[in-house]
Amino acid sequence: MMAPFYKYGLFNDEVSLIIAFVIGIGFGFFLERGGFGSGRLLAAQFYFTDMRVFKVMFTAIVTSMMGIYYLSYLGLVDINLIYYGNTYLMPDMLGGLILGIGFVIGGYCPGTSGVALATGRIDAIFYTMGGFFGIFVFGEIYPLIEGFMNGNNLGLVNLPQFFGINYGLVLFAVILIAIGGFALAEWGEKLMASKRKAEV
């Protein structure tokens, strides 16, 4: 049997919604248990005081990439049927920049704000309200920026296709980046800890 199961018609829309709901509940639960519902802990990444969220996320990224790659290699997953949207280069880059600024200021991304909201954190309530306000503003000004939003459309393209290289090479590069990121995170944590001790 090959995955993704939904693409091969192995279950219908109703079953897919139930599965998505269960996966979403599980994902939110483990995010909260991992500390991703704390704005302070998330913001600590930008100050190099506690890098556990960075380490958990990068570990999850590398693990999922390895899983998909090797399952594809074994013929259990058709990697070409995994869904992702079109790449709009400049709009995507601007959106990423805005998301990053919001992350630094508020301490949450959209997913983690949902986790924090579910646990009743007051800052997450205001952050989520801000998110809905941003959606409203975007909807109102969309006719004015529609040309930009639909520009630089590269279509359905991923990193291996964009750079014209093998999937395995991209995976290897991400693993190297992860190792370097973990080393930098450890160094940053130790540096900030030593600074705090010196100030005391």
Q: How confident is the model over 5-62, as pLDDT tens digits?
A: 777 777 788 888 898 899 989 988 988 888 888 888 888 888 888 898 888 888 989 9
Q: Indicate the angle between helix axes 52-73 and 167-199, nearest 10 degrees.
A: 170
Cα–Cα distance between 189 and 47 in angstroms, integer?
9
State residue 182's pLDDT score. 93
Q: Tokens 């998301």 — which residue?
A: 99
Contacts of 55 (CB under 8 A, 6+ apart): 182, 185
Identify the band that residue 97 occupies on the pLDDT scale cut at 50, 70 and 90: very high
* CA 38, 39, 40, 41 torsion-angle sign: positive
Cα–Cα distance between 100 and 90 in angstroms, integer?
15
